Amino acid sequence: MGDVLEKAREEVALGNRILAQEGVLDAFGHVSVRHPQDPKRYLLSRSRAPELVAPDDVLEYDLDSNVLTPTNEKLYAERVIHGEIYKARPDVMAVVHHHAPAMMPFCITGLPLVPVFHLGATAGGSVPFWDQYEEFGDTNLLVVKPEEGASLARALGRNNLVLMNRHGATAVASDVQGLVFRTIYSCKNAEFQFQAQTLGKIMPLHQGEVEKAGALNAMANVTTRTWEYWTMRLEKSGNGLAPAQKKRLKAKTKKQGKTKRRKR
């Protein structure tokens, strides 16, 4: 059990660092994963800038977002985002909340985010928009109460991504590698949509294209390739995990790829 948990903590740390390296996360934002052996728990770092998250920072929480081991460390105020989504979506295994610059024009204007290129299909054909004010009135715009997290989870519904009015975005996936892929390419999609709007009418993917391209994007040979690419970029930046941690995570990634290929 210890080895499985250690690997999960390493993936959470690496997911945070990759998304910081790629400009999605800055001092704020956070990645979590459902506990690999107990679906009523999840793993999330203590309150720390994503670029600095290490496996030892990753703590266990129950789905009410209570930390399970007493600690004097500060915790993320918005951890209820993760707990309430895991409650509402048993199929979700990984969650990220971020304020990526590419998404913010859509969060501010309410203009629909639509898939405009094949890798952007990972966001799904529909991206709901959550306005906290409609249910809770004036707040500080953080999602800190269980009822606020539950409202966000309802807005997300069965979708892959939800935009948060004047705040940011939250995405979900079946594992950390898929989550990182979805997060980066949904942001790329937002960039391309914003740029294309300056040229003329947007022509989004057809629903059938979204479904087929989305399924292709979830294949192991796609997510493994991109995970290795972003990990390499992280290592070149000098902010990768320690050598022993990288070796264990590489072995896990290789094993996961073989398992996914056997299932197809």
Note if 78 is an active site residue.
yes
In angstroms, the CA 114 to CA 127 distance is 7
The three-state secondary structure class of 11 is helix
60/80 Cα distance (integer angstroms): 13
Name the residue among 121, 128, 106 with its Cα closest to residue 207. 121
Rounded Cα gap, residues 133 and 135, in angstroms: 5
In the DSSP assignment, the letter for residue 35 is -
For 150, phi then psi, to 5°, come to -65, -35
SS3 state of residue 67 = strand
Neighbours of 156 (CB within 10 A): 24
What's the one-letter identity of residue 139? Answer: T
DSSP calls for 97-152:
EE--TTTHHHHHH-PPP---SGGGGGG-S---EE-HHHHH-S--S---SHHHHHHH
Measured CA to CA, the distance from residue 67 to residue 58 in angstroms comes to 11
Of the listed 10, 78, 84, 148, which one is catalytic?
78
The residues assigned a catalytic role are 78
